[in-house]
Structures are given as C-alpha cells and as structure tokens.
Structure 1
Amino acid sequence: MTLNDFRTRWTGHEPGIQDVKQQYAVLVPLVEGPEGPSLLFEVRASTLVHQPGEVCFPGGRVEPGESPKDCALRETFEELAIPPGEVELIAPLDRLVQQGKFVMHPFLGIVSPAGMAAMTPSPAEVDSTFLVPVEWLLAHPPQVYSYELKPQVAPDFPYDSIGFPRGYRWRSGETTVPVYPWPDRPIWGLTGRIVRHLMEEMA
C-alpha cells in the first residue's frame, strides 16, 4: 500500500453517507388539479409485503448503475404508467436518512395534463391514487408526534478493552412523525416529512 494508492482510490470521490448501503428515490408529483396545484399520492396495494395500504409517493429502490433521478422516473412509470417525458423535474428536495438504514432521494416534478391522462395505476403495486390541494396542506399543518431512539448495547460489548465503564452514557436520539389528517387517507411517516419540508419552504 502506498500514498499513491490513496490518491488513485479517492481522487474525484463524491461523498455519500457513511454505512448507508441502500438508496431509494421518489417523485413528488405536482399536478394542476380542480382546486389548483395539488400533490398526487398513491395508496400501496394491500397485497404488498412491505407497508401495504400506506400512502406514499411513487418510487422505489435505486438499481445498480442507476441515478436516483432516473429511479424516480422509472418507478413512476412502472407504478402509474406516467411517461418520463411528461414529467418536468424541478429540483431534488432534501434527502432523508432513515436511522442509518437507507437514504431517500425525493424529486419535485410537475406532471403534465397528458401525463395525468396516461396514468394507469398498476394493480400489483397501487390500490388507488388521490390529489391533495397545496392550499389545503398549507392551511392544515400536520400534527407532529415523536418517539425516542434508545441505544440497546449488547451484553458482550468490550467496555474493559476500550477503557470505559459499563455505565457509559450512550447517546440517544429522537425522531418526529408528522401526520396530515387528510380525510380517510392520513399522510404520515417519510411521506409526511417530505410534504412538511415542501410546505414549510413554500409558506
């Protein structure tokens, strides 16, 4: 191993988030609805193994060699049949990190009337879709709940070898869960956090 090996490995490196192995991307679809600019949401199919029946944006796991932006557009087409050419991508929104397990890349985009006309939800993945006017979201801030993240350290952790007592004060954390009370379809979790961030920036 030489110093030049480090130059070769790290020159031009784009930093990611350490220890996070999985990446996901979603489209945050804006459309012109009957009540003005609106967000398009999905309800996940009840037959899905993960998070059946939950409200979400179209998206999924980033495949090897795929950019998060391309993933968001691909998943939107697979789930809703909205062609990528009918989505005007405005900007990536702030990324979310889920407790060190994965990173989520949201992309704000405007779906054209032709894209909405082409929309055909895939029954295997999508139970239904619905629109929520932006004005409603701005007028109804979410109810925000929180829960504590407590470290649970294994009994065999080597306190003696690192020179610290068993009473070492590990850091805990907290996460928030915003809930928008849209009738019959509450918007919450990561989807709620994305919506809250977008609305706070637009208020």
Structure 2
Amino acid sequence: MEKEQFSTRRPGIIGEEKFRQYSVLIPLICISGATYLLFEKRSNQLKRQPGEVCFPGGKLEPGESLEECAVRETVEELNVLPQQIEIMGPGDIYLSPFNLMIHPFIGVIKDYQDTFSRDEVEEIIKVPLDFLRSQEPERFVSKLVSEPPEDFPYEWIPGGTKYPWAKGSYDVLFYRYEDWIIWGMTAQILKSAVNLMEEYHIR
C-alpha cells in the first residue's frame, strides 16, 4: 500500500473479522401478473432456528463472492437452476448485535415450480408484495447490557466496578401474514428490502 492510495480507500469495519458472513436472496416470483416474495419455513430437523420463516441463504464459503453465495444457497434449498435466478441488485447489509453480518440480494426466480429441498425446508410461503407494502411491522425493543468477565481489570478504568457502562437496544420486528410470523433478522431485512423496492420502483 502507498500513502497516495489512502485517500481513496474503502473504509473497513472495526471488528469485522469477528462477524460471521452470510448472504441471502430475497426472491421475487410472479403469479398471475402479481409479484410475491418467497419465504421458506426451515425444517424442524435443523439445529439452527428450526421451524422459523426465513429467506434462502447461508454462510459465505472461501473463494466465493457474496452474490455467488446467495445464488448457491438458493439453488441448494429451492432445487432451482442458477440460470433461473436473476439478481436485480444488493439490499442493505444487516449487522446483528450477535456478530452476524448478512448481505441480502433482491432477485427474481423465473419459472419457479414450488420445488425445495426437504432436508432443509419444510415448506414454502408466498406473500404478496402489495400486502407487505401496506403493512408496518410490529416493533418491540430488546435491551443489550454489558457484562464484563470476572477477571476484568476494573482498577484500570475510572470508577472501577461502578463504571457507568452504556446500555444499548435493538428492535425486534414482527410481520403477520395469515398464520405465518416473519420476525427477527428476516423481518429487519424484509422491511429494508420493501423500502428499497419502493424507492427504486421494483415491481
């Protein structure tokens, strides 16, 4: 690296190496001329988040791009071909307070025939985009509290054990559609994606 390059560098994120990197696809499908968003209900046999509603996606593998990860995971989970997926663009990155960094991509699945891998997916859910545009999610606030380890060197900081640690919070969102609940990280990514589709006139 040269000093002259510094002014044009892309800023990194401090502590990014501690985040697990994931990509998801926000799939759009067309049914009788109307646009639907496609969700999965995760198999109850999975160790992580069994039975929850989510978008297809997974952990970034070495050597692949974030977009390639989203496509690969969608192909595996929905039993579609890569050429059926048309990526329209990136969504906004979601940073979880639990060291997850999720990179969404909005895309179209063409000629989708309701296929999915039963190893990972219990069933698929189709929600009209118009419904999601008309809904504001229900919002609840969860608190985050700092808990230093037992061997924390309180003697090194002003106030010692009485140091006034900052407290944080994060929103937990819920969408309800028929008998389905879309919540948590998926709801956060969904809200952002719906706003982007409105802003960029994606129908």
TM-score normalised by the shorter chain: which range applies? 0.7 to 0.9
Match of 2:40 among 33, 39, 42: 42
Q: What's 2:95 paired with?
A: 97
2:71 aligned residue: 73
CA distance in 1, matches of 2:80, 2:94: 25
Q: 2:181 aligns with which of 178, 183, 186?
A: 186
The TM-score, its normalising length taken from structure 2, stands at 0.87
Aligned to 1:154: 149
Q: Say if 1:84 and 1:138 are closer, same or farther in 2 by CA, change over 3 A.
A: same
- Aligned residue in 2 for 1:17: 13
Matched AA of 2:82 = P
Q: CA-atom RMSD, angstroms?
A: 2.2
The answer on 1:120 being equivalent to 2:120 is no
- Assess, with a 3 A threshold, how the Cα gap between structure 1 residues 16 and 121 changes in structure 2: closer, same or farther: farther
131, 134, 155: which one aligns with 1:136: 131
Aligned residues, how many?
Answer: 194
Corresponding residue for residue 3 of structure 1? none
| 1:168-202 residue CA offsets vs partner (Å, 9 max, x unmatched) | 11121111111011122111111101111122341
Gaps of 5+ in 1: 1-5
C-alpha spacing 1:15/1:85, structure 2 compared with 1 (3 Å): farther
TM-superposed CA distance for 1:165, in Å, is: 2.4
In the alignment, the residues of structure 2 paired with residue 16 and residue 122 of structure 1 have an alpha-carbon distance, to the nearest angstrom, of 36
Alpha-carbon shift at residue 162 of structure 1 (Å):
3.9
Residue 64 of structure 1 aligns with an amino acid whose one-letter code is: P
Unpaired segments ≥5 residues, structure 2: none
- Inter-partner Cα distance in structure 1 for 2:51 and 2:136: 23
Cα-to-partner distance string for 1:58-114 (whole Å, 9 max, x where unaligned): 00000011111000000000111121211111111110111151200000001112x
- Give the SS at the match of 1:94: coil
What is residue 164 of structure 2 aligned with on the other side?
169
Confirm or deny: 8 A CA contact 1:33 1:133 kept in the other structure: no
